[in-house]
Amino acid sequence: MMNTIGLHAVVNGKVVMASEAVVPVTRREVQYGFSVYEALRIIKGHAVHLEDHIRRLNNSCRGIGLVHSITEEDFVAWVGLLIEADDIDDATVRILLVGGQPSICYITAAPLLTYPDSYYDGGICTITYEGERFLPACKTSNLLLNYLALRKANEAGAFEALLVDRHGRILEGTRSNFFAFSKADGTLHTAADELVLEGITRDRILKAAALDGIDVVFEPPRLSDIHAGKYDELFISSTSMGAMPVRKVDDLLFSDPFDRTQAICRRIRSWELDD
């Protein structure tokens, strides 16, 4: 059967051709980036952790005061419409909600974003980039910092940029959460909830760590401590990536195996069809 992922889109509950998923540039909320979004995985026709994504989308809306009248049931039904229209088996789906009167909800699909096994076996390279995301607890379209940081990473041949805040701490990557295992006691360090996005994968990583007997310390790793050798295994996480080990931070090398990261990744992937 023909792969039709990306042929259609769902706009405010109506199936349209993807080319009609457009926003007017004269709309004030478009000009100001007053919108929120989610990206989620469809695996074997199942929208993974969909209710969590809808909950987070609504949290982002509350965070910036974006008012809409779309119910949870609407979102679920609309994602279902797109799965049906494009006959989706596996895909990455994006929900974009643009504020205004009325708000507009766009649901679009693209081929499932996956990464080579080598990224998980050997780890990925990162650079560091100074900057702090505005309203870190909300997933908004205010992403220029992330765009510029990721572009710089890619130009340097790296996969991700780790954002270093004004206090020298790494809170997150441009599209990932960040974790580091303490060399001294094996605890897992990461930023506290209120400093970063309430990660759907992040939550499951914390749960997986608990099952592996790992204690979590909610303190964001400092770049200087990373250089001082305080951590011996680092990883990033996201919906698409799962948990992905870090081989390099700028010029600093970490060597495989990344057993603890891989164990966590296997666990969280095993939960994807459990909703």
The least CB distance from residue 96 to a second copy, in Å, is 5
CB of 12 to a second copy, least distance (A): 13
135 vs 253 by CB, closer to a second copy: 135
- Smaller CB separation from a second copy, 65 or 213: 65
Tokens representing 219?
């303190």
Kindly report whether the peptide bond that precedes residue 257 is cis, defined as omega within 30 degrees of 0.
yes
Across-strand partners of 106? 11, 96
Min CB(65)–a second copy separation in Å = 7
Enclosing H/E stretch for 40: strand 35-43
Q: Could you tell me the smallest distance in angstroms from the CB atom of residue 127 to a second copy? A: 16
Give the span between the Cα atoms of 68 and 169, in whole angstroms: 35
Closer to a second copy by CB, 157 or 213: give it.
157
CB of 18 to a second copy, least distance (A): 7
Residue type at position 154: N
Q: How far is the CB of 33 from a second copy (least distance, A)?
A: 5
**Minimal distance in Å, beta carbon 44 to a second copy?**
24
CB contact burial 139-165 (16+ within 10 A = b; e otherwise): bbbbbebbeebbeebeeeebbbbbbbb
Select 28 or 229, whichever has its Cβ closest to a second copy.
28
**CA distances to 36, 136, 259 from 59, in Å:** 10, 12, 34
Backbone angles phi, psi at 152, to 5 degrees: -65, -40
**Measured from the CB atom, is 89 or 132 closer to a second copy?**
132
In the complex with a second copy, which residue's Cβ is closer, 29 or 225? 29
Place of tokens 């195996």: 257
Q: What angle do CA 188, 191, 193 make, to 5 degrees?
A: 115
Q: Rank residues 20 and 259 by Cβ distance to a second copy and give the closer one.
A: 20
Beta bridge partners of 231: 182
Q: How far apart are CA 228 and CA 218, in angstroms?
A: 19
Q: Under the rule (CB under 8 A), what is the footprint of a second copy? A: 6, 9, 18-19, 21-26, 29-34, 37, 64-65, 94, 96, 106, 108, 110, 131, 134-135, 140-148, 151, 166
